[in-house]
Amino acid sequence: MLPLHQRLKIVPQTGVVRWVGVRPEHGEPMRALEAVTALT
């Protein structure tokens, strides 16, 4: 399994965080945001 920072894809211009390989409608945006918060 890839490290967390490799599984997350961050789009700086919009601040959008997306799981790699997961469509937004099927992903878990809040969990992704929590992960980014934990990283920073």
Is residue 32 within 8 A of residue 17, CB to CB? The reply is yes
- Res 32: pLDDT: 63
- Res 8: pLDDT: 59
pLDDT digits (tens, 9 = 90+) for 10-23: 555 555 555 555 55
- Residue 13: count of CB within 10 angstroms of its CB: 5
pTM: 0.22
Collect all residues with Cβ–Cβ distance below 8 Å to 19 and sequence separation of at least 6: 7, 8, 9, 27, 28, 32
pLDDT at 33 over 60: yes
Tally of domains within the chain: 1
18 vs 31, more confident = 31
Domain range for 26: 4-39
Average pLDDT value over all residues in the chain: 56
State the Rg of the chain over Cα. Answer: 10
